A = this chain, B = another copy of it.
């Protein structure tokens, strides 16, 4: 599962195990990686889950996705033309594979090849001005003409304009809901047009209606797929700025189109330029910045210490069960204030691998919250699912 090698292809049975594991309670992209490292395979992880969660002090039995539910999703998806691409497989979008919380399985609709092209995201206001729409179209068309795929979020306004203007050259929509749940519904026709030469991706289960909190989470995929994010018209606290935050964390370039200081729709984008984002008035500005990056090979970023600790093919380490008093000590060290793994390891006096195992157990028990930058905290009692 090492990001960037992209040479391994999962067997059918293994893919179902991956789907079951990522659809189980308390298993997000990071926990998924930790489980694979800890147990050696998704199948082994599924078997180990109940015991790990029990040791972590789960309040009740954790829900593991049943094999038949995963099979049902898998078959229904296939009928819809959805493929599941696993992290580490050759078809997995190479840039996306480099982010810390890359989805282990990506539901893909449309043209797989569109995910391999170098990509630029164009995002912005839903209630965009006519000028903003025209700029988004012009940038998307011109970036498409020089070979970039255009990534966006299928929202109204800027997103839709960017997709529309790059239909002929290839555009990628990152969805907040399941691959069959299109939001807003009136962009369903646009999605159909996108799929002809482009693609749509989703990490959510088939049939999943997107909730408000799924949109920010989805935004990390928009930036993660891309070399850079261009913001066209963004108000002060807008979703586009969340995408920018992800882009910065992921080491992506940030671009912004300037606008009148009198237009509140440009406050966010103007502010970005003041903060150092590259100002864009034409596609050439984006190309000039990205050209040098395009030459560089794509390499996985640090990817979390787990990946570094456990080379591919390492034997499962489930036998390294920490003693109960170590577990109690860990709980004492943890609290509602996020603390770094380094501090936790130092203060606990335990090996890093032991700390990882204990945290994994707590996570599966729904008692641990992982924060950006490798920080963790204990979930409040009422946070527990």
Which residues of A are in contact with B by a Cβ distance under 8 Å? Answer: 131, 134-135, 257-263, 266-267, 270, 273-274, 279-282, 285
Contacts and interface: CB of A to CB of B under 8 A. Distances in A.
Contact of A281 (B131, B270, B279, B280): B270
A278 to B, nearest CB: 9
Contacts of A270: 258, 279, 281
**How many copies of the polypeptide does the oligomer hold?**
2
Contact of A279 (B262, B263, B274): B274
A256 to B, nearest CB: 10
Contact of A261 (B257, B261, B273): B257
A297 to B, nearest CB: 30
Nearest to A130: B262
A282 B260 CA distance: 11
A266 B260 CA distance: 9
A191 to B, nearest CB: 28
A59 to B, nearest CB: 51
A261 B282 contact: yes
Contacts of A261: 135, 257-258, 280-282
Given A135-B261, A258-B259, A285 B281 contact: no
Nearest to A280: B261
A279 B260 CA distance: 11
Nearest to A132: B260
Contacts of A279: 258, 270, 273-274, 279
A204 to B, nearest CB: 36
A345 B280 CA distance: 47
7 contacts: A258-B261, A258-B279, A260-B260, A261-B282, A270-B279, A273-B279, A274-B279
A2 B270 CA distance: 44
Given A270-B279, A279-B273, A259 B257 contact: no
Contacts of A267: 281
Contacts of A280: 261
Q: Which of A262, A263, A267, A270 has the most C-beta atoms of chain B within 10 angstroms of its own C-beta?
A: A262
A340 to B, nearest CB: 34
A84 to B, nearest CB: 41
Nearest to A260: B131
Contacts of A135: 260-262
